[in-house]
Amino acid sequence: MIALIPVRDGTLPAGADEACAEASGHALLIGSGTHAAADALTSLRHAILAEAGDYAPAAWATALASHFRSSEPPYVVSSPPAHPGGQPYNSLSAPTPTPGPSTGVVHTPGQLWITDKSPGQGLILPASPDGRDLAPRIAFALDIPLLAGAIEIHRTGARLARWGSKTMVDVEVDGPFVATLVPGVRTVERASENTREKLNWPEQDAQDAEVLEVLPPDPKTADLAEAPRILGAGAGLTKNNGKEAIELLEKVADALQASVGATRVVTDAGHASYQRQIGTTGVVVDPELYIAFGISGAAQHIGGLGAPKHVVSVNTDPSCPMTAMADLGIVTDATALLEELAKEITHE
């Protein structure tokens, strides 16, 4: 198995390291600034770098597919310049087949993929916005199945999150497949060293959207990203009177010297600003204390949560993922509890 990681200007997408770890440290980085991006991959053991320029999912998919398909290495692999900080690149003048990782993928330098029907040939992308863009296009171009939104991937299949992470489905695949791994689902083992090689990238005629600009994260999110204590608002807290609930939560947060975060359901409903959204497509936080009010604990939310020392979940559902991962799970109505808490804390 190999991770396929789209890179923009040397920036890794959310979940890149986990995808790489899931593929036992093997990754193909594609895009712009792949060298620098590889430096930031802690689990990387072996990298193939494809400097393919600006993000272009359709064009990349077409080119990668023909590359993966061919039995002969179609592109000349050049000796890249030495990269400071990184490991020396492989010399590829005399490609010697190296045994694949234990997962069974056969990997030859310069030849990424052998499309016979043998199992264990998984292509793993992070389920980040860019990864989710690219994965279906590659699966389509290769005409192989896509296992989207996986929380665990193995040689012959994956475990997929469905219904907003309320259920999970185990699927098995006969033959090669593409999968996307939800960020935040696993820990990342650090690799001691890595090797790199470079893949020449052909001219491509794009059928892609044109990127006009990338807007940086709102500076207002900085306080949340750094906050040591966070109270999180979920749909279970805001479903009846969202505005009031958030105001109360802010009051309680003040008293506890904490910040207020929210799930995407809450920000989408307009109860809290987007800068408050915690998760893979929101702010990535790493507090010491996280108190979740009416949050189900979808993988995309947990994916931005870091590793809090203390987690409390207030939820009417005793077996939702958020409560399952909490140190203290309180099974009760979140709004009512918050009201009581406000009374108590403002007394103090």
Partner 1 sequence: MSEHAGPATKTATPSTSAVTFDVVVVGAGPAGSAAALELARQGHRVALVERGAFPGAKNVYGGVIYGRILDELIPNWWEEAPIERWVTRRQTMLMTPTQSLTVDFRTENWGKPPYNGATAHRAKFDAWLASKAEEAGAELITSTVVTGLLTENGRVVGVRTDRPEGDFKAQIVIACDGVNSFLAKQAGMYPDGQVHHTTLGVKETLALPRETIEERFGVSGTDGVDIELVGGTRGIAGGGFLYTNLDSISVGVVLSLTELGKAKVRPEELIADLKRHPAIAPLVKGGELIEYAAHLIPEGGYKTMPKLTGDGILVTGDAAAMCLAAGIWLEGVNFAIGSGMYAGRAAAEALSNNTTDLSGYERRLHESFVLADHRKLKGAPELLLGDRVQNKYPAMICDLVENLFQVTNPEPKPGLRKLLRRGTKQHGIRLRDLAKDAITGFRAYG
Partner 2 sequence: MLIVVALRWIESLTSGLGAADECALEHALRLAEQLDAQTLAVTAGPEPAEAVLRTALASGIGDAVRVDLTEDETDDGSRVAKALADAIPAPDLVLCGDHSADRGTGATPAFLAAALGARQALGALSLTWDGKLLVERRLDGGRRERLAVGLPAVCSVEPADVRLRRASLPGLLAARKAAITVHKALSTRDDRITVERTRRFSPRTRRVPPPEGAEPHTRLLALTGALAEHDPPRLVHPADAKAGAAELLAYLRQHGYLE
Ligand X SMILES: Cc1cc2nc3c(=O)[nH]c(=O)nc-3n(C[C@H](O)[C@H](O)[C@H](O)COP(=O)(O)OP(=O)(O)OC[C@H]3O[C@@H](n4cnc5c(N)ncnc54)[C@H](O)[C@@H]3O)c2cc1C
- DSSP secondary structure, 89-126, as one string: BPP-SS--PBPPPTT---BBTTB----SS-S--EEEEE
Q: Which one among 318, 324, 327, 344 touches partner 1, defined by CB under 8 A? A: 318
Our finding on whether 296 is near ligand X (CB under 6 A) is yes
Residues 244-273 binding ligand X (CB under 6 A) are: 263-266
The dihedral region occupied by 197, where left means phi > 0, alpha psi between -120 and 50, and beta the remainder, is beta
Half-sphere exposure of 125 (CA within 13 A, CB side): 27
Q: Which one among 91, 207, 316, 346 touches partner 1, defined by CB under 8 A? A: 316
Our finding on whether 46 is near ligand X (CB under 6 A) is no
Q: Which of 189, 173, 181 is nearest to 151 (CA)?
A: 181
Chosen from ligand X, partner 2, partner 1, none, partner binding at 294 (C-beta under 5 to 8 Å by type): ligand X
Chosen from ligand X, partner 2, partner 1, none, partner binding at 259 (C-beta under 5 to 8 Å by type): none
CB distance 89 to 80 below 8 Å: yes
Residues 155-194 binding ligand X (CB under 6 A) are: 164-165
- Neighbouring CB atoms inside 10 A of 257's CB total 9
Tell me phi and psi for residue 247, to 5 degrees. -60, -45
Q: What is the signed CA dihedral for 122, 128, 131, 136, rounded to 10 degrees?
A: 80
Chosen from partner 2, ligand X, partner 1, none, partner binding at 315 (C-beta under 5 to 8 Å by type): ligand X
For partner 2, give the closer residue by CB, 50 or 144: 144
How many residues belong to the chain? 348
For partner 1, give the closer residue by CB, 189 or 340: 340
- For partner 1, the binding residues (CB under 8 A) are 316, 318, 333, 336
- For ligand X, the binding residues (CB under 6 A) are 164-165, 234-236, 263-266, 277-282, 294-296, 298, 300-301, 304, 314-317, 320, 333-334
